Structure formats: structure tokens, C-alpha cells
């Protein structure tokens, strides 16, 4: 009589394991993408805060607000000056950071900052706006946020307000 021992797994057992793994991935992947998108939106908010701080510093040093991101960025060579004050990183000065496109427009009395996702729905689902008032505003959707958009955190602040 032959004593036959089975070693390894049968094809059916391997297919069942692969099916279970695929089900887990199918459930977890959307949550992972949503978490990554939220992290990129949070990074965009921090970048806007950095730009606001850089504008305050720039105004203090040069007596006016910067007219573009490159004026806040590092100089190509030489020392810091009004056309390259070295107040922000080179990637932010180029206008692209962590899935968001940033634009800064200077005016005689202030500035505006706009941040929109590079790929809407993938790198972000909100657009942001800020100006010399330092308030950051958001818009859910592809329409760029403006000075009339809802302030970031306004809904949370109202929910926590118990003075009424």
C-alpha cells in the first residue's frame, strides 16, 4: 500500500485565498484613496498658511506684497532680493505642491492666493482661496473658491458654538 501525503495547496484553495484578498482590496482601496486625498487637501491648507506668512514677511522686508510665487521663492543664484526673497520652497514657488496648483496674484493693496486640485476628485475635491485678510475659504466642487466662499472650518465653528 502506498502512503500518499499531500503537500502544498490545491488550486481551489489558492483561488479562494486570492478571492478573499481581492474582496479586502476592493473594500479598502476607496478608503485609502479618500484618506490620501484628505491628506493632500490638508497639505494645501498648510501651504496657503505658509504663503500668507511669507507675504507678511515679504511686506515687512520690501514694503509691498509679492506679485507672484517666484518673488517669494528662492533665488536662482546670488543673495535674496525682492524678485526672489527665499521665503518659500522651490516646488511651491513653481506653483505645484502635493497634488494642488497654486497661483498668487499681487495687487497694489494686497494679494490673492488660489489652490485647485491638479486632478479633481483624485488629488482633491475642494478648491481654496485666501487673501491679505488671512482667512482661508473653500469651495466643494470644481468651481474655484472666491472671497465670497465659505470660510474653512466655519461649519465646525458654528456646530461648536453654544452661546446662542
Q: What is the strand order of the sheet 96-97 is part of?
A: 96-97, 100-106, 111-117, 126-131, 136-140, 150-151
- pLDDT of residue 160 exceeding 50, the answer is yes
3-state secondary structure of 78: coil
Query: What does the alpha-carbon distance between residue 52 and residue 111 come to, in Å, rounded to a whole number?
Result: 9
Residue 144 DSSP label: P
Taking only the tens place, the pLDDT of each residue in 71-103 is: 999 998 888 898 899 999 999 999 999 999 999
Three-class secondary structure of residue 87 per DSSP: coil
Query: CB-based contacts of 98: which residues, under 8 Å, 6+ apart?
Result: 40, 43, 44, 47, 123
For residue 164, name the pLDDT band (cuts at 50, 70, 90): very low
Nearest Cα residue to 109 out of 46, 55, 47, 51: 55
- Note whether 94 and 100 are within 8 A (CB): no
Please count the residues of the chain.
Answer: 164
What ranges make up the beta strands (E) of the chain? Answer: 96-97, 100-106, 111-117, 126-131, 136-140, 150-151
The residue behind cell 476628485 is 121
For residues 139 and 130, the answer to whether their CB atoms sit within 8 Å is no
Output the pTM of the full model: 0.78
pLDDT at 19: 96
Given a contact cutoff of 8 angstroms between Cβ atoms, the answer to whether 84 and 73 are in contact is yes
Q: What is the mean pLDDT of residues 66-71?
A: 94
Amino acid at each position: 500500500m502506498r502512503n500518499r501525503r499531500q503537500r502544498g495547496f490545491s488550486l481551489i484553495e489558492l483561488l479562494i485565498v486570492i478571492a478573499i484578498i481581492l474582496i479586502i482590496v476592493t473594500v479598502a482601496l476607496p478608503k485609502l484613496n479618500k484618506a490620501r486625498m484628505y491628506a493632500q487637501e490638508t497639505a494645501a491648507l498648510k501651504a496657503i498658511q505658509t504663503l500668507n506668512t511669507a507675504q507678511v514677511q515679504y511686506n515687512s522686508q520690501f514694503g509691498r506684497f509679492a506679485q507672484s510665487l517666484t518673488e517669494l521663492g528662492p533665488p536662482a543664484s546670488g543673495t535674496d532680493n525682492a524678485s526672489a526673497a527665499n521665503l518659500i520652497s522651490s516646488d511651491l514657488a513653481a506653483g505645484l505642491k502635493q497634488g494642488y496648483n497654486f497661483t498668487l496674484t499681487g495687487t497694489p493693496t494686497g494679494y490673492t492666493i488660489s489652490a485647485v486640485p491638479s486632478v479633481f476628485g483624485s488629488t482633491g475635491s475642494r478648491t481654496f482661496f485666501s487673501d491679505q485678510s488671512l482667512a482661508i475659504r473653500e469651495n466643494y466642487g470644481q468651481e474655484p473658491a472666491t472671497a465670497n466662499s465659505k470660510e474653512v472650518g466655519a461649519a465646525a465653528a458654528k456646530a461648536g458654538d453654544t452661546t446662542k
